[in-house]
Amino acid sequence: MNNLTPGYLLPFVMIGTLATVAAVLFGLHRALKLAGWSIQDRKRAVSIGTVLLVGWLFAALLPSWAGFYRTARAGMPTIQYGLLIPIIVAVALFWRWGAFRRAIEAVPQEWVVGLQFYRAEGLIFLLLLAGHRLPGVFAWPAGIGDVIVGLLAPAVAIAYAYRLRNTGALVRVWNLLGIGDLIVAVATGFLSSPSRLQMFAFGAPNVLVTAFPLVMIPVFLVPLSVLLHLASLKKLRQAEMGQQFSHNDSATSPSDKLTWKGGVLTPP
């Protein structure tokens, strides 16, 4: 297998990554504007979001460029740090930082879903497979899964935006499909790359996936995708709870809504 990095790979990965970052920030700005946030609060939130996202991008880019994630067959993999640390930090921020949580909650569900159209970039795995630069045990499931999830993203988003029947279930299934695709891609990537954990593709190991620029996908775009899926599922749960509360409230009889005021039952 030819492990030389093709010339088209760098612009493909980096342009796609930068376009994704720009789409996230633009979507955040538009969502906060539609949510009625003041100009000052909106600018502050977008500025903080820019610092966090661009800072994360460079935190992924620099060690990737320096070859930190590349390992030999006798070594231990390091790519898990790039995968897990951003997810842990983002989840902690969501639960501990109220302003961060409110900004995420202001973004419509259909935007969170539709943004993952960028997952169709997984086509690159199939192109590299065709050029004999990636093993099939990784490229087939990772490439096909990403393309399917990415192409379905705008369709699911549109269906949810128009509140078609059973779109809540559709969004949940799409999210689970997307998460399952990421789990399979990460697992096959780990097990086919040179390290002590390698179990597949010994004759033609998965070298490119831990080398710059392709490694930016598992250490930046994959964690971003996981976080978007988690945000989508959280929004879905909140929407379902809100609908349930509304249904229960509307089903309450007028007498149930009477309250005590000065020792007398009066309407609220």
Query: 3-class DSSP state for residue 7?
Result: coil
Please, where are the H alpha helices in the chain?
9-34, 39-65, 79-96, 98-106, 109-114, 123-130, 136-161, 167-192, 216, 222-251
Domain ranges of the chain: 9-237
Share of the chain above pLDDT 70, in %: 89
The helix/strand/coil state of 217 is helix
Q: Cα separation of 16 and 22, whole Å?
A: 10
Which has the higher per-residue pLDDT, 129 or 252? 129
Contact call for residues 57 and 82 (beta carbons, < 8 A): no
| Tokens at 38, concatenated | 């003041």
Helix (H, G, I), strand (E, B) or coil at 259: strand
Burial class (CB in 10 A: 0-12, 13-18, 19+), 14: middle
* Residue pLDDT, tens place only, 104-134: 999 999 999 999 999 999 999 999 999 999 9
Closest of 197, 224, 179, 168 to residue 53, by C-alpha = 224
Question: Is 149 within 8 Å of 178 (Cβ atoms)?
Answer: yes
- Smallest Cα–Cα separation from 149: which of 188, 183, 122, 126? 122
| Whole-prediction pTM | 0.89
pLDDT of residue 267: 44
**What integer is the mean pLDDT of 12-30?**
97
- pLDDT for residue 29 is more than 90: yes
70 has a pLDDT exceeding 80: yes
Q: Is the pLDDT of residue 268 over 70?
A: no
pLDDT at residue 236 greater than cutoff 70: yes
Q: Tell me how far apart the alpha carbons of residues 107 and 265 are, in angstroms, rounded to a whole number.
A: 41
Give pLDDT tens digits for 179-192.
999 999 999 999 99
pLDDT, residue 251, reads 52
